[in-house]
Homo-oligomer: A and B are copies of this chain.
Amino acid sequence: MSENVYVGVDLGGTAIKVGICNEQGTLLHTYEGPTEVSKGVDTVISNIEKYIRHIVEESPYSWEQLAGVGAGVAGFTNVREGIIVLAPNVGFKDVPIRSILEDRLGKLVKIDNDANVAALGEAWAGSGNGVENCVCYTLGTGVGGGIIIGGKIYQGFSGMAGEIGHTNVVPDLEAIQCGCGKMGCLETVSSATGIIRMANDAVERGDHTSLQSVDTIMAKDVFDAAKAGDEVALRIVHRAAYYLGKSLASVAAVLNPEMFIIGGGVSKAGDILFDEVRSVFASLTPEPLQKGVTIVPATLGNDAGIVGAAGLLIRS
Q: Which of A37-45, A149-157, A227-235 contacts B (4 or more CB under 8 A)?
A: A149-157
- Contact residues in B for A314 (Cβ distance below 8 Å): none
A164 to B76, CA, bound (A): 28
User: Are A286 and B181 also in contact (CB < 8 A) when A158-B256, A254-B255, A293-B157 are?
Assistant: yes
Q: Which of A232-277 contact B (CB under 8 A)?
A: 246, 249-251, 253-258
- Contact residues in B for A36 (Cβ distance below 8 Å): none
Name which residue of chain B comes closest to A173, CB basis: B171
Q: How many copies does the complex hold?
A: 2
User: Are A287 and B181 also in contact (CB < 8 A) when A149-B154, A249-B168 are?
Assistant: yes
* Chain B: minimal CB distance from A241 (Å): 15
- Contact residues in B for A288 (Cβ distance below 8 Å): 76, 158, 160
- Residue A133 interfacial (CB < 8 Å): yes
The interface of chain A, by Cβ under 8 A from chain B, is 76, 132-133, 145, 147, 149, 154-169, 171, 178, 180-185, 246, 249-251, 253-258, 283-289, 291-293
- Contact residues in B for A283 (Cβ distance below 8 Å): 182
* Chain B: minimal CB distance from A52 (Å): 31
A257 to B163, CA, bound (A): 12
> Which of A165, A171, A255 counts the most B-chain CB atoms under 10 A from its CB?
A255
Can you pick out 27 interface pairs between chain A and chain B where the beta carbons lie within 8 Å of each other? A132-B157, A133-B156, A145-B254, A149-B149, A149-B154, A155-B256, A156-B257, A157-B257, A158-B291, A160-B288, A160-B289, A161-B255, A163-B253, A163-B256, A163-B289, A165-B253, A166-B285, A166-B289, A167-B253, A168-B249, A169-B250, A178-B286, A180-B287, A181-B287, A184-B284, A185-B286, A250-B250
- Contact residues in B for A158 (Cβ distance below 8 Å): 256, 258, 288, 291-292
- Contact residues in B for A133 (Cβ distance below 8 Å): 156-157
